[in-house]
Amino acid sequence: MSTLTRARTVQQSTTSHLRATTVLRLYTSEPRYKIDEVIEAFTALNPDIDVDVFRAPTGELKSRIEVSSATGGISADVLMAADAETFEDYKARDLLLRYTPADVAALHGNLVDPDGYYVGTRIIPSVIAYNTGAYITPPRSWKVLSERRFSGQVAIVNPLISGAGMHNAKVWSETPSLGRSWLRDFSANRPRMVHSNVWVGELVAAGAQPLGIVADYVARDLAARGLPIAFEYPTDGAPYVTQPVGIFKDTPNAQAAKRFVDFLVSFEGQEIASAQHYIPVRRDVLPPAGFPRPVGIRLLAPKPTTTTRTKGALARTHASVA
């Protein structure tokens, strides 16, 4: 369900208290506890900005944006959500403000929209998670998950709800060694569809599902808590999303929005991302101990030309078979 949270500014203990003069409205699919940490750090540095957060899965955010756009204007100033394709759609519809964040040269170049309308904020590959009590030698490729011996064993996020889930279906269908035939075979194995990556991870950690396809940070979060979950970066490549951020064109709070985008990809902002078990988008910020650098993972990028209609049809096919 959607969660409406209010992130208040940190009050400064000076002779006169600074008060927020701008309310910035953020739509995001970030987990609540993670975005709360980001907002706390941002408002400590920007006490004149109060960030109002609406948190929901990417699909729900998109539906909300469509409704508000059709009935008087988008109420959000900033969108931070799973996949670049969503932002490509909004860019094509002239809904986004062109803005290149400060210090952009420090970022991995392929995470920055060359047209300047959005930028990635995390590198989030999807991995094969497994319960360590169920598997000593887990499957290490997407290819084998279509085999009948894995029927009913895999949990996966619903692509009709999750931007990352839809993105994965798109990338798998475009990967020559997999393709739509693999996607059909995998879906015929009846993976368990759930509403979020976190839910997938929790099912695997609890042993309710021995396997799950999940964002790597979710498995890392759970493993760090001592739960029986581990994961493999698939040998045939990991689809990844970059949790882009963009500013809506008609925002009345463009300057505050730009400061927020700058913070997300700043050194400090990416240090927070790394501490939250994300692979950072800056070249000068290390992932936490034991994390691979992006160059150490085979990542699968999508073809940029797939239309929203094609993606939707692909997601519906995947979900309906499963």
Helix (H, G, I), strand (E, B) or coil at 130: strand
Per-residue pLDDT tens digits for 130-187: 999 999 899 999 999 999 999 999 999 999 888 899 999 999 999 999 999 999 999 9
Q: What is the pLDDT of residue 82?
A: 87
Regarding the domain delimited by 124-240+299-321, which CATH topology (the fold level of the hierarchy) does it fall under?
Answer: D-Maltodextrin-Binding Protein; domain 2 (3.40.190)
- Please tell me the distance from the alpha carbon of residue 37 to that of residue 272, in angstroms, as a whole number: 8
* Longest CA–CA separation in the chain, Å: 69
Distance, CA of 28 to CA of 54 (rounded, Å): 6
Where exactly are the structural domains of the chain?
A: 3-122+242-291, 124-240+299-321
Q: What is the pLDDT of residue 107?
A: 96
Whether 237 contacts 175, CB under 8 Å: yes
Q: Please determine whether the domains at 3-122+242-291 and 124-240+299-321 fall in the same fold group of CATH.
A: yes
Q: Are 136 and 285 in contact (CB under 8 A)?
A: no
Closest CA to 321 of 180, 224, 218, 188: 188
Q: What architecture does CATH give domain 3-122+242-291?
A: 3-Layer(aba) Sandwich (3.40)
pLDDT at res. 250: 96
The series of mean pLDDT values per 10 residues for the chain, 322 residues long, is: 41 41 96 97 97 95 94 95 93 97 93 96 96 95 97 95 91 95 96 95 98 96 96 94 97 98 98 95 87 72 53 48 44
Helix H segments across 207-281? Answer: 216-224, 254-265, 267-275
CA-to-CA distance for 291 and 220, rounded, in angstroms? 10
List, for residues 119-145, the tens digit of each pLDDT value: 999 999 999 999 999 998 999 999 999
Q: Where are the alpha helices (DSSP H) in 22-162?
A: 32-45, 58-70, 84-92
| Residue among 153, 187, 188 at smallest CA distance from 168 | 187
Total-model pTM: 0.85
